[in-house]
């Protein structure tokens, strides 16, 4: 299994505990994982080795904040319906 396949597999396993509602999206789940994992690995490989961990952690924080905001917006929309 390649690093890309491992990354996708682990990310899909994480989704089990925090599922994405793919039905409301016009996006193929496998293609989304493939595209995003490829991009993440490419950016990781381009980063200076001494900063990779910090960059990964900063990316996790940014994505978590984005997810938080999106979830808040969805909750607000549902409460106004």
Divide the 81 residues of the chain into consecutive groups of 10 and give the mean pLDDT of each group.
Answer: 87 88 89 94 92 92 93 90 75
> Please, which residues have CB within 8 angstroms of residue 3's CB and are 6 or more apart in sequence?
41
| C-alpha to C-alpha distance for 8 and 30, rounded to whole angstroms | 9
Q: Do 18 and 11 form a contact (C-beta atoms < 8 A)?
A: no
Which residue, 62, 20, 26, is CA-closest to 43? 62
Tokens of 25: 């999206």
In this structure, the number of other CB atoms found within 10 A of the CB of residue 37 comes to 20
């Amino acid at each position: 299994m390649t690093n890309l396949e491992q990354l996708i597999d682990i990310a899909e396993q994480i989704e089990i505990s925090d599922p994405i509602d793919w039905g409301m999206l016009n996006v193929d789940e496998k293609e989304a994982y493939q595209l995003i994992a490829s991009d993440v690995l490419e950016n990781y490989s381009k980063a200076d080795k001494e900063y990779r961990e910090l960059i990964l952690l900063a990316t996790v924080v940014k994505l978590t904040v984005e997810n938080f905001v999106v979830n808040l917006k969805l909750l607000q929309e549902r409460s106004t319906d």
